[in-house]
Structure 1
Amino acid sequence: MLELPEKTTNSGLMPDLTALIDVLFILLVFLLLTAAVKLEMLDVTLPEVGNDNQAPIEQQNALVLSVNFTNQKLNYALGKVPYSSLNEVMDALRVNTNKQGVYLAIDQQVPSGDLVNLLAALSKEDHKIANILIKR
């Protein structure tokens, strides 16, 4: 019987790539987790201090919009007129044709999500906020 010569393998010359693949996988996961995510944000313009440290929007006839949180329910009032929902308040503000500044008087217990919704609705209707008062 003829004997075949043994095959010589170059397996000793090939590096072990297991550690390199592990490091590349960890880097890939890190880059995917730290990639920039688009966040939905509400643009808020803060007033600048005018001359003599006075607020830039000072109006004698500004509207006062108060928001209270009692019995797990939001209560709105525009001036002295009570409203039960944000839509009713926004409708009342639409009727008021002169774009006066709005003073917000807010109870400290008002949830932040509802406050953001109120600020977004006022911004959408182009109402300027003259001041925000928080009752403690």
Structure 2
Amino acid sequence: MISANQGGDGSAQASIGIDLTPLIDIIFIVLVFLLLTANTQLLTLPVDVPKEADSELTGLSQEQHLSITILTEAPHWALNGQPFEEFDQFEAAFIQAYTDSPAINVVVAADKNAPVQPLMTVLALLQRQQITNTQILMEP
């Protein structure tokens, strides 16, 4: 049987056994980590692609169109060849140009070395404006 030694003043030692406080701290830290990482939202942007693998690319028509260019380096956005430093300025100019002629085709051309985020920002803008008449330029 285990007995506690008594000190000089007659009191027993306070603890005999294993201190579980560090273990409980680690469990709570792991639990908080799992709760924070388990609920991360993945953001997606739906894109309609051709359903047939042998779909051919069609040439750009000679009709008037609104051209959005995604550039490799800042400024990343250009509207009909005019670059914009801030996306807010680009968005305002695009909305104004599109409201002036809503039947116009919107053409998006991205440099192959351009980052993806500016392109995703433009596609999100087109989706917010509910623009469905859009073409993406590709090399054959």
Residue in 1 aligned with 2:55?
54
Q: Which TM-score applies when normalising by structure 1?
A: 0.55
Deviates most, 120-129 or 110-119: 110-119
What secondary structure is seen at the aligned counterpart in 2 of 1:102? strand
Match of 1:21 among 21, 24, 36: 24
Determine if the alignment matches structure 1 residue 90 to structure 2 residue 91. no
The more displaced of 87-96 and 106-115 is 106-115
In the aligned structure 2, how far is the partner of 1:127 from the partner of 1:96? Answer: 12
- Report whether the alignment pairs 1:35 with 2:59: no
Q: Which amino acid aligns with 1:125?
A: Q
Q: Whole-Å Cα distance in 2 between the matches of residues 122 and 111 of structure 1?
A: 18
Contact 1:104 1:133 in 2 (8 A): yes
User: Which amino acid counterpart does residue 33 of structure 2 have in structure 1?
Assistant: F
Contact 1:42–1:120 at 8 Å: present in 2 too? no
Q: What secondary structure sits across from 2:131 in the alignment?
A: coil
User: Hey, which bits of structure 1, 4+ residues long, moved more than 6 A?
Assistant: 6-10
* Separation of aligned partners in 2, 1:68 and 1:104: 8
User: Is residue 66–residue 76 contact of structure 1 (8 Å, CA) maintained in 2?
Assistant: yes
Letter in 2 for 1:104: V
Aligned equivalents of 2:26, 2:33: Cα separation in 1: 11
* Aligned partner of residue 39 in structure 2, secondary structure: coil
What is the CA distance between 1:48 and its match in structure 2? 3.8
Determine helix, strand or coil for the equivalent of 1:34: helix
* Aligned with 1:119 (options 109, 120, 123): 123
Identity %: 25
Q: Distance in 1 between matches of 2:82 and 2:97?
A: 9
| CA 25–62 in structure 1, closer or farther in 2 if over 3 Å, else same | same
**Gapped runs of 5+ residues in structure 1?**
1-5
Q: Which amino acid aligns with 1:97?
A: P
Distance 1:75 1:25, change over 3 A: closer
TM-score, normalising length from structure 2? 0.54
**CA shift for structure 1 position 46:** 2.5
Size of the aligned set, in residue pairs, is: 121
Look up the SS of the partner of 2:137 in the other structure.
strand
Name the CA shift for 1:134/1:107 in 2 (closer, same or farther; >3 Å): farther
